[in-house]
Chain A
């Protein structure tokens, strides 16, 4: 059954179709939530809330954008709503960042290199988390999820110019933060 048929069935209330449809989306949704929150517990809560929002709203899906872009939009809105509700309290743990969502090491690292790599990754993760929410959302969707500027604009309900500006400023801030920790990245061999 293709995606459109699953969507149409889900709109009519077919729960099996909804589950099958969303099982194909859950990995990306979870990745977005992890990058926005930085820990598994909040990502799980966000994923759950986003799934319920999608379940409630799917009857209004009009096929005017791709389904995955719409799913990104709902997921990101769920993340941003929660972050704004909390006033973005820092809630990032090193362990949670390192083991949540990084590709596995290639096995060539020495234990020391592995530890250093983990520290660098956690630092960058932390820097992303320090970006303002809208900027963070745009950077995550572009540089981690690989969405086009147009799809990001649809997902964040804004225009492409604003998206480009947020991403550019977000990257610039990340560069500044990385340069401020240059000793760590120097040891990493950059």
Chain B
């Protein structure tokens, strides 16, 4: 044991990897070397101080409320971006209907901002002001905006479903719709396949291609006879590389599906 080896042994000590024999050698060396003895003393103190630092710390409720609210707003913005992309291809009357739908669900100020964006030709929703969705009361986290978290869940819930272009053209009310994200190897190929499949299963399909951060993507809005939806999905799922569990979707009861494709 010499002074050069000492530093390595101190690291091993902090990692809990020093054997009893090595520890004895360190202590033996330190009895004859004041400098290394001081290092050993400090090393033990560092270990003691670190051991008092908890690797997990209770997060204050206000902090929990802050991140949950932030994620909820982000989820809302994500949905708005999707809807704005979607709305870009439909008639002006349909877009107005879409904005009106938002107005019913968002605070009036946010609705005004959306309309402003629409008039200005902005294709994405502007950053909304922070809204208090969570608050702390009686040492508990509560939601204050009256909206259940399901609002920004998958679009499984009929009441929360976005409105498809063809649906808007046909009727004023929203149709039940599933949104399913899929990662695929070749977006073009899957679009072609989905078009053929939709025809084969007597459905209608509207395909919108776009780029997101250099990644090739597509939104596929599909209307299918209920009886054919299951088979359609069985066929399309072979292209899915994300291992999405399509069985979670109650396709038997649905006729409108939105597939969001992204290339790998």
Docked complex Cα distance between A187 and B204 (Å): 80
Q: Does A132 contact B (CB under 8 A)?
A: no
Whether the pair A13, B181 counts as a contact (CB closer than 8 A) is yes
Q: Does A154 contact B (CB under 8 A)?
A: no
Question: Which of A15, A44, A146 contacts B55, CB < 8 Å?
Answer: A146
Given contacts A44-B66, A52-B74, A124-B46, contact A12 B244 (CB under 8 A): yes
Number of B interface residues, CB 8 Å?
53
Whether the pair B56, A16 counts as a contact (CB closer than 8 A) is no
Q: Does B44 contact A (CB under 8 A)?
A: yes
CB-CB < 8 A to B242: which residues of A?
Answer: 11, 59
Q: Does A175 contact B (CB under 8 A)?
A: yes
Docked complex Cα distance between A55 and B72 (Å): 10
Q: Does B109 contact A (CB under 8 A)?
A: no
Whether the pair B64, A26 counts as a contact (CB closer than 8 A) is yes
CB-CB < 8 A to B42: which residues of A?
Answer: 175, 178-179, 185, 190
Question: Which of these binds chain A: B7-15, B93-101, B161-169, B192-200?
Answer: B7-15
Docked complex Cα distance between A61 and B40 (Å): 43
Q: Does B171 contact A (CB under 8 A)?
A: no
Interfacial residues of chain A within 22-59, with CB under 8 A of chain B in the complex: 22-23, 26-28, 30-31, 34-35, 40, 43-44, 47-48, 51-52, 55-56, 59
Question: Which of A51, A168, A172 contacts B67, CB < 8 Å?
Answer: A51
Given contacts A101-B53, A143-B50, A190-B45, contact A15 B150 (CB under 8 A): yes
Docked complex Cα distance between A16 and B151 (Å): 10
Specify the chain A residue showing the minimal Cβ separation from B62: A44
- Size category of the A interface is 35 or more
Interfacial residues of chain A within 41-92, with CB under 8 A of chain B in the complex: 43-44, 47-48, 51-52, 55-56, 59
Whether the pair A168, B154 counts as a contact (CB closer than 8 A) is no
Specify the chain B residue showing the minimal Cβ separation from A18: B71
Q: Does A115 contact B (CB under 8 A)?
A: no
Specify the chain A residue showing the minimal Cβ separation from B246: A12
Whether the pair B74, A56 counts as a contact (CB closer than 8 A) is yes
Specify the chain A residue showing the minimal Cβ separation from B47: A143
Whether the pair A19, B181 counts as a contact (CB closer than 8 A) is no
Docked complex Cα distance between A171 and B49 (Å): 13
Whether the pair B152, A15 counts as a contact (CB closer than 8 A) is yes
CB-CB < 8 A to B145: which residues of A?
Answer: none
Chain A nearest CB: distance from B172 CB in Å?
A: 26
CB-CB < 8 A to A26: which residues of B?
Answer: 59, 64, 67
Q: Does A94 contact B (CB under 8 A)?
A: no
CB-CB < 8 A to B183: which residues of A?
Answer: 59
Docked complex Cα distance between A56 and B77 (Å): 11
Whether the pair A47, B63 counts as a contact (CB closer than 8 A) is yes
Whether the pair A143, B71 counts as a contact (CB closer than 8 A) is no
Specify the chain A residue showing the minimal Cβ separation from B44: A190
CB-CB < 8 A to B181: which residues of A?
Answer: 11-13, 59
Docked complex Cα distance between A32 and B245 (Å): 34
Chain B nearest CB: distance from A82 CB in Å?
A: 15
Q: Does A160 contact B (CB under 8 A)?
A: no
Specify the chain A residue showing the minimal Cβ separation from B70: A48
Whether the pair B55, A144 counts as a contact (CB closer than 8 A) is yes
Whether the pair A171, B46 counts as a contact (CB closer than 8 A) is yes
Given contacts A11-B242, A19-B68, contact A102 B74 (CB under 8 A): no
Most buried by A among B10, B70, B180: B70
Docked complex Cα distance between A173 and B132 (Å): 44
Interfacial residues of chain B within 90-136, with CB under 8 A of chain A in the complex: none
Q: Does B234 contact A (CB under 8 A)?
A: no
Whether the pair B46, A47 counts as a contact (CB closer than 8 A) is no
Whether the pair B55, A30 counts as a contact (CB closer than 8 A) is no
Chain B nearest CB: distance from A176 CB in Å?
A: 9
Give 6 CB contacts A-B under 8 Å. Answer: A16-B150, A59-B181, A120-B49, A143-B46, A168-B11, A175-B10
- Beyond A34-B57, A56-B74, A142-B15, 5 additional pairs, beta carbon < 8 A: A12-B248, A13-B181, A15-B71, A47-B59, A175-B43
- 6 tightest Cβ-Cβ pairs between the two chains A and B: A27-B56, A13-B154, A101-B57, A51-B67, A31-B57, A190-B45
